[in-house]
Homo-oligomer: A and B are copies of this chain.
Amino acid sequence: MKFDKEYTLKEVASWIGGEPIGDLSIPARGINEIHVVEPGDITFVDHPKYYKKALNSAATTIIINKKLTPPEGKALIYHKDPFTAYNKIVKHFSNFSPSNDLISDSATIGEGTIIQPGTFIGENVKIGKNCIIHANATIYHDIIIGDNVIIHSGTVIGADAFYFQKRQDGYHKMISGGRVIIGDNVEIGANCTIDRGVSADTIIGDGTKLDNLIQIGHDTVIGKNCLFAAQVGVAGAVRIEDDVILWGQVGVQKDLTIGKGAVVLGQSGVGNDLEGGKTYFGSPAKEAREKMKELVYVTRIPEILEKMKEK
């Protein structure tokens, strides 16, 4: 996530009760996990195994549980629990707050947009023009929705990422600091769940259409004019390019890429990157033609067993 403005190392360290190491005026412009950091970002590391990776990453400020000399042009913040410190900074910038109103005062809603009864719209939500948000939908805080978007009833946009760190006393939650951004002309069916990003944004491209009961995980980026049938589940940090079709009940594992124009047949399970322009089937998914052949081969095993008996 990017901050609203630039802060100094000194300010950031004071929020988390950490000890700044290095130039106190070094700027912080955002915070991110180690694998997605950019210059200006804060990140954290709490295991010696990853110290080197963190120090060599693009991050400008590293929250760390050991006192080291910062690399050239970078700063450290010493903290005995960097994970908790990271969460504290993300929380500092979150617009979530207890609400008494179904529609927050800080939400902006475009001309011609219809909000049906029972729908909740959180702090700092921006909805474009000529949208319909049907009854009993839920839009958490910090969500951006384009023009001509239809969202059906019961759909939940912006719930927290399912993202936990296992520690000795159980799972600790990584606070979700990202948003959900929905393009123009998107339609989302009933009872879907589109989680917010942990540190970046979950994005649904222009013209994409989702059926009912679909799960889209945190930080996942979906291209334009995709079509997902009912009960599809896409995990976190997946990249789905334009014009992809996922048929009903398809599951997609995290951190994958599905190429432009790929078609995945119903109930398939995607466990690897898929090249665009092809059709896939099976769990795990393969090219459909190949998988269909395998299904026929299996039916020939009795014949094989019979022939072997003869010999």
Chain A interface residues toward B at CB < 8 A: 98-102, 114, 116-118, 120, 122, 134-138, 140, 150, 152-156, 159-160, 162, 164, 170-171, 173, 185, 187, 189-193, 195, 206-207, 209, 211-213, 215, 217, 224-225, 227, 229-231, 233, 235, 248-249, 251, 253, 266-267, 269, 271, 283-284, 293-295, 297-302, 304-305, 307-308, 311
Closest 3 CB pairs of A and B: A120-B135, A138-B153, A297-B301
Q: Tell me, rounded to whole Å, the shortest Cβ–Cβ distance linking A204 to chain B.
A: 14
Question: Chain A's interface: helix, strand, loop or mixed, by majority?
Answer: loop
Judge whether B269 and A267 touch: CB under 8 Å. yes
Judge whether A162 and B212 touch: CB under 8 Å. yes
Judge whether B248 and A249 touch: CB under 8 Å. no
Q: Which residues of B contact A235 (CB under 8 A)?
A: 229-230, 248
Judge whether A215 and B230 touch: CB under 8 Å. yes
Query: CA separation between A70 and B283, bound complex, in Å?
Result: 51
Q: Tell me, rounded to whole Å, the shortest Cβ–Cβ distance linking A103 to chain B.
A: 9
Judge whether A297 and B307 touch: CB under 8 Å. no
From B134, B156, B173, give the contact of A138 (CB < 8 A). B134
Can you list 26 contacts pairing A with B, beta carbon distance less than 8 Å?
A99-B117, A99-B135, A118-B118, A120-B153, A134-B159, A136-B154, A138-B154, A152-B156, A154-B154, A159-B190, A160-B187, A162-B229, A164-B227, A171-B209, A173-B187, A212-B215, A215-B230, A229-B235, A233-B249, A249-B249, A266-B283, A284-B295, A297-B298, A297-B305, A300-B305, A307-B308
Query: CA separation between A227 and B253, bound complex, in Å?
Result: 16
Q: Tell me, rounded to whole Å, the shortest Cβ–Cβ distance linking A114 to chain B.
A: 5
Q: Given A170-B207, A185-B170, A209-B162, does the pair A120, B99 have CB atoms closer than 8 Å? A: no
